[in-house]
Amino acid sequence: MTDRLYATFYIDDTLFGIDATDVQEVLRAQPMTSVPLAPADIKGLINLRGQIVVAVDLRERLGRGPAPDDVQSLNVVVRTEHGPVSLIVDDIGDVLKVSDDALERPPETITSPTRDLVVAVHKLDEQLMLVVDAKRTAEPMAA
Amino acid sequence: MDDMDDVIQEFLLESYEGLDELDREFIELESNPASEELLASIFRTIHTIKGTAGFFGFDHLGEVTHAGESLLSLLREGTLPLNVAITDALLTMVDAVRVMLNEVEKTQADGTNEWAELVQELNRLADPSAGTPTETKAPETGEPSDTATDKPAESSAVGVDTETPIASPVTEDAAHPTEKPTPIATETEANSSVADSSIRVDVALLDRLMNLVGELVLARNQVLQYHALRADNSFQGTTQQLDLITTELQESVMKTRLQPIGNVWAKFPRVVRDLSASLDKSVSLEMIGKDTELDKTLIEAIKDPLTHIVRNSVDHGIESPEERVGAGKPETGTLTLRAYHEGGQVIIEIADDGGGLDLSRIRDKAVSQGLITPDRAAAMTDRDLANLIFAPGFSTAEQVTAVSGRGVGMDVVRTNVEKISGSLDIVTNKGIGTTLTIKIPLTLAIIPALIITCDVDKYLIPQVNLLEVLHIGPETSAKLEVAGDAEVLRLRGRLLPIVHLRQVLGREPAEEGASGQGQNIVVIQADGRELGLVVDQINDTEEIVVKPLSPHLKSIGVYAGTTIMGDGAVSLILDAVGIGRVSGVVNEASRHHDTADVVDKDEQRGATQSYLVAQVSGDLVAIPLALVSRLEELDPSLVERAAGKLVIQYRGRLLNLVHLSKILGKSDTDIDRDESLRLLVYESDGQSYGLIVDEILDVFEADLSDGVPSTQRGLAISGVIGRRVTDLIDLDEIVAMANAVTDQLVMV
């Protein structure tokens, strides 16, 4: 039985988890440079201490539509082979230690595009946590 | 031997490092005699030195390392166990190699000492069953010491050799030889200036350093901006110092990535020799400024274009020996490569003393290939004409040879040079020679760029893509005009296609009121074509640090990279070629031209081109857009008669009117005095012709190569443009016809 650390975040009321070892840092909303003609899920570019990082809008990626006005979105910066990529989320939660026992494969009925990103579902006591694969999230969206 | 200097230095550097490594590895090997890894590493080092020694003809060095290598290979295979004697012998060999390398460093030769005893010892150890060493010892050792005594400088090396107790039984006398290496080693180290004055550094580390310096430059820019807002004297001093140090650091770090251009040139003597031999020419190659340094990535990028140019110069530039003698020149042609720094750029000149370019042939070819109008050709300077050889699809070679003339020519060279933000120029003198000049920046990481605004965002255009910046408005005479759905600007008598950056980037068009105040146009050059880019604001120029584009954004195609501005904001760098392509100015046919292996001349002519399509008496006619110099709409009351022809006074000259409809026999109607005249202005032989059409429809990209040759005089081909049958006008023919028919127009 292995325990794993997950950094968690919310999009709407859904709890998502991402392997904590993939997460470099969490930042408040940053000044963002928009990129005309970019795919819809690319929110823009941010200056992360001199490094230029692409911000991926997870809401768009998960097909959730634009964020409500009162949401102050946050950047979850994950490490990928192409360098850091920032995931824009609505809110962040705690870092949770969860046993692999509570892990299940995502139900077949889960629909795309969520299906493309979610690799597992954890049955937490209060709610479900959808485990998102950081690297897949940060990859350019498949055409 | 001078030419070999650099290569030998490199060999020495590498070998000294290898030797230091060997010392360590041998010691380690003694405590861990079975380590295959160590043995393999030692073997590799010795093998490399042996190979290179053979290449340079250092026979003694080669022999010693060869013997060592044979012994090592037995150890590696496990057929021979390692013992103290073998280690000693091998260490002696390492020291001998050191002595010889030292000799090479001083005299460019590996000395006169043959190291026969050492070689023999190594061989004996490799094959213990072979005859007793004592028998062969005397004659072998005698020779090296004889030769060595002639040269006192080598006495220490000789001393070791003669004293090495090769004859003594290996196992008992083991301690003896190990004492010997020490004096040699100290002497060698004292003289190893090459190894001491340089170290090898991973390129990745240099790249990282370069990046960090880039960050520092940005931070400096931010501090300078902040400083401008405050009047604090002590802060001012610190800022200035920071500024100076940063600049100096940037230059120094940049230098670490620099390599001499001689690295690329090294292969040219061979290329020239082989090529001139196969062409029965005699060419000598001179290289000046081999030490001129430029960035490693640029060195790589310049390699192929340079090779192409050198081959071209030998093939086309330099004449055959008979021709040269006939022209009173020495039989042997000279090709000179010269490199030097000038104004932050590296200039590379490739000069031949050949026959020079045949400019009249270039002119004819360019005109027949539709690259320029005959009229423009007539007005071009020799220099402009010479530079036509860089135009896409241009080749004067009558014959396809193995060397050049396959239509993939200088335009590819130009594309490659422009890719690294370089430029090309050619100057030719008939009978005297041709000089081709390449200018490239020292580095690509930090470049000057123009900041412009589109909508709310700032973008950057690299300075190398910029031609000029224009403002047009109510107060200026120039204005944007429309040809079909394409906007154009008349710029010094030529039509400049206009593209709105807002449109390219999919932004809302600017508000009506804003355009009333005029428009800012940045004229950029993309793949040899010009294009006017309408932007909201032109801000400033700044030195920027180019950061690569994220893989998420590469496919968009209009950005070349990103950068961080002085205020810390991220901005996108625009890709001039990408914008040209997106807006259709640079078409795919010309882009991919360089990939085509053999380009048929007919294919070239027929490849996709821009055509201006107009209506004449209900039929559609097309003219290559490149040949139309202007579009005009003039008042028919201006029409006058001169020498039996109808003309209009136009810009202080006479514009000959050509009634297309009548000339092509489509109708007999004359000029309608009530409607303004719509003219396509075409220039030929210094004369301007205004082709009268009913309506100018549009500009189309089309490929007319499948068209049917027209039987009617004045028309070249009938083809399909934009789904409608269109006749391509044969302009030369039309002009000839117009000149022949006097009084063709009867005024009503």
The CATH number for B45's domain is 1.20.120.160
Q: Does A23 touch chain B (CB under 8 A)?
A: no
B76: which 2 tokens? Answer: 């590696």
Average pLDDT over residues A37-49: 88
Report whether B210 contacts B202 (CB < 8 A).
no
- Token pair 């009321």: residue: A13
Query: If you measure CA to CA, which chain A residue comes closest to B551?
Result: A140
The full set of domain ranges for chain A reads: 3-138
CATH tag, A3-138 = 2.40.50.180
Final residue of a structural domain among B560, B590, B620: B590
Residues B252 and B264 in one domain: no
Final residue of a structural domain among B441, B459, B477: B441
Q: Does A34 touch chain B (CB under 8 A)?
A: yes
Amino acid at A142: A
Q: Which of A31, A47, A140 sits opposite B551 (nearest CB)?
A: A140
Residues B54 and B130 in one domain: yes
Q: Cβ A33–B569 below 8 Å, yes or no? A: yes
**Best residue in A32, A37, A80 for a mutation probing chain B (most B CBs within 10 Å):** A37
How many folded domains does chain B comprise?
5
> What tens digit of pLDDT does each residue of A62-81 get?
888 887 877 788 999 998 87
Burial of B537 (0-12, 13-18, 19+ CB in 10 A): exposed
Check whether A23 has a pLDDT greater than 80.
yes
Burial of B259 (0-12, 13-18, 19+ CB in 10 A): middle
B250 or B183, greater pLDDT: B250
Q: Cβ A35–B559 below 8 Å, yes or no? A: yes
Whether the predicted model's global pTM rises above the 0.90 cut: no
Check whether B595 has a pLDDT greater than 70.
no
Give B-chain residues touching A46 at CB under 8 angstroms: 570
Per-residue confidence at B518, pLDDT binned at 50, 70, 90?
A: confident
pLDDT for B346 equals: 84
pLDDT for B515 equals: 53
Give B-chain residues touching A50 at CB under 8 angstroms: 215, 218-219, 564
Residues B327 and B366 in one domain: yes
pLDDT for B726 equals: 83
Give chain A's mean pLDDT.
86
B672-678 contacts at long range (C-beta below 8 A, 24 or more positions apart): B672/B636, B673/B636, B673/B637, B673/B747, B673/B748, B674/B636, B675/B636, B676/B633, B676/B634, B676/B635, B676/B636, B677/B632, B677/B633, B677/B634, B677/B635, B677/B636, B677/B639, B677/B648, B678/B614, B678/B631, B678/B632, B678/B633
Alpha-carbon gap, residue B128 to B558, rounded angstroms:
72
Q: Cβ A47–B570 below 8 Å, yes or no? A: yes
Let me know if residue B599 belongs to a domain: no
Query: If you measure CA to CA, which chain B residue comes closest to A46?
Result: B570
Let me know if residue B217 belongs to a domain: yes
The CATH number for B496's domain is 2.40.50.180
Residues B252 and B265 in one domain: no
Give the percent of chain A with pLDDT over 90: 33
Final residue of a structural domain among B157, B179, B197: B197
Alpha-carbon gap, residue B669 to B746, rounded angstroms:
9
Question: What's the ipTM?
Answer: 0.87
Average pLDDT over residues B695-723: 75
Give A-chain residues touching B547 at CB under 8 angstroms: 52
Check whether B142 has a pLDDT greater than 60.
no
Q: Does A50 touch chain B (CB under 8 A)?
A: yes
Q: Strand B433-441: give its sheet, edge to edge.
A: B283-288, B333-342, B345-352, B433-441, B423-429
B183 or B387, greater pLDDT: B387
Residues B576 and B475 in one domain: yes
Let me know if residue B603 belongs to a domain: no
Give B-chain residues touching A33 at CB under 8 angstroms: 457, 569-572
Lowest mean pLDDT among A54-68, B278-292, B354-368, B596-610: B596-610
pLDDT for B246 equals: 87
Q: What are phi and psi of B24, to 5 degrees?
A: -65, -45
Residues B584 and B452 in one domain: yes
Residues B613 and B573 in one domain: no
Q: Cβ B552–A33 below 8 Å, yes or no? A: no
Give the percent of chain B with pLDDT over 90: 5
Average pLDDT over residues B29-36: 77
Check whether B183 has a pLDDT greater than 60.
no
Residues B265 and B252 in one domain: no
Average pLDDT over residues B398-402: 41
Residues B270 and B171 in one domain: no
> What tens digit of pLDDT does each residue of B710-742 get?
777 888 888 777 667 788 888 888 888 877 765
Check whether A86 has a pLDDT greater than 60.
yes
pLDDT for B171 equals: 41
Residues B96 and B242 in one domain: no
Check whether B294 has a pLDDT greater than 50.
yes
Give A-chain residues touching B550 at CB under 8 angstroms: 45, 52, 54, 82-83
Check whether B182 has a pLDDT greater than 70.
no
* Of B542, B565, B405, the residue nearest B462 (C-alpha): B542
Give the structural domain span for B580: 446-590
> What tens digit of pLDDT does each residue of B60-97 get?
888 888 888 888 888 877 777 877 788 888 888 888 88
Query: If you measure CA to CA, which chain B residue comes closest to A139?
Result: B552
- Regarding beta strands A118-123 and A103-104, do their DSSP bridges make them parallel or antiparallel, or are they unpaired? antiparallel
> What tens digit of pLDDT does each residue of B301-338 get?
888 888 888 888 888 888 888 888 988 888 889 999 99
Lowest mean pLDDT among A124-128, B381-385, B699-703: B699-703
A&B contacts, CB < 8 Å: 55
Check whether B400 has a pLDDT greater than 90.
no
Let me know if residue B625 belongs to a domain: yes
Angle of the B181-191 helix axis to the B84-107 helix axis, nearest 10: 30
Lowest mean pLDDT among B169-173, B442-446, B493-497: B169-173
Q: Cβ A33–B558 below 8 Å, yes or no? A: no
DSSP state of A126: S
Residues B216 and B126 in one domain: no
Give A-chain residues touching B219 at CB under 8 angstroms: 50
pLDDT for B742 equals: 53
Amino acid at B101: L
Q: Cβ A82–B572 below 8 Å, yes or no? A: no
Distance from CA of A59 to the nearest CA of B (A): 17
Query: If you measure CA to CA, which chain A residue comes closest to B455?
Result: A36
Strand partners, B347: B340, B439
> What tens digit of pLDDT does each residue of B186-244 get?
444 444 555 567 788 888 888 888 878 877 887 887 787 777 777 777 888 888 888 88
* Of B615, B610, B622, B631, the residue nearest B667 (C-alpha): B615
Per-residue confidence at B523, pLDDT binned at 50, 70, 90?
A: very high
Q: Cβ A140–B552 below 8 Å, yes or no? A: yes
Lowest mean pLDDT among A133-137, B154-158, B392-396, B619-623: B154-158
Q: Which of B507, B547, B553 sits opposite A38 (nearest CB)?
A: B553
Check whether B135 has a pLDDT greater than 60.
no
Q: Is B48 helix (H, G, I), strand (E, B) or coil?
A: helix
Check whether B461 has a pLDDT greater than 90.
yes
Report whether B317 contacts B355 (CB < 8 A).
yes
pLDDT for B14 equals: 80
Give the percent of chain B with pLDDT over 70: 79
Per-residue confidence at B512, pLDDT binned at 50, 70, 90?
A: low
Give A-chain residues touching B502 at CB under 8 angstroms: none
Q: Cβ A82–B551 below 8 Å, yes or no? A: yes
- Regarding beta strands B570-574 and B457-462, do their DSSP bridges make them parallel or antiparallel, or are they unpaired? parallel
Give chain B's mean pLDDT.
75
Alpha-carbon gap, residue B47 to B54, rounded angstroms:
11
Q: Cβ B570–A50 below 8 Å, yes or no? A: no
Q: Cβ A47–B571 below 8 Å, yes or no? A: no
Sequence-ordered list of residues with C-beta below 8 angstroms from that of B699, at least 6 positions apart, any chain: B483, B484, B485, B486, B610, B611, B612, B613, B625
Report whether B113 contacts B155 (CB < 8 A).
no
Q: Cβ B559–A33 below 8 Å, yes or no? A: no
Q: Does A37 touch chain B (CB under 8 A)?
A: yes
B396 or B429, greater pLDDT: B429
pLDDT for B146 equals: 41
Alpha-carbon gap, residue B27 to B9, rounded angstroms:
28
Alpha-carbon gap, residue B217 to B237, rounded angstroms:
18
**Best residue in B570, B573, B574 for a mutation probing chain A (most A CBs within 10 Å):** B570
Q: Does A128 touch chain B (CB under 8 A)?
A: no
Q: Which of A33, A42, A56 sits opposite B457 (nearest CB)?
A: A33
Residues B58 and B6 in one domain: yes
Q: Is A121 helix (H, G, I), strand (E, B) or coil?
A: strand
Q: Which of A37, A52, A83 sits opposite B570 (nearest CB)?
A: A52
Lowest mean pLDDT among A29-38, B205-214, B394-403: B394-403
pLDDT for B395 equals: 60
The CATH number for B340's domain is 3.30.565.10
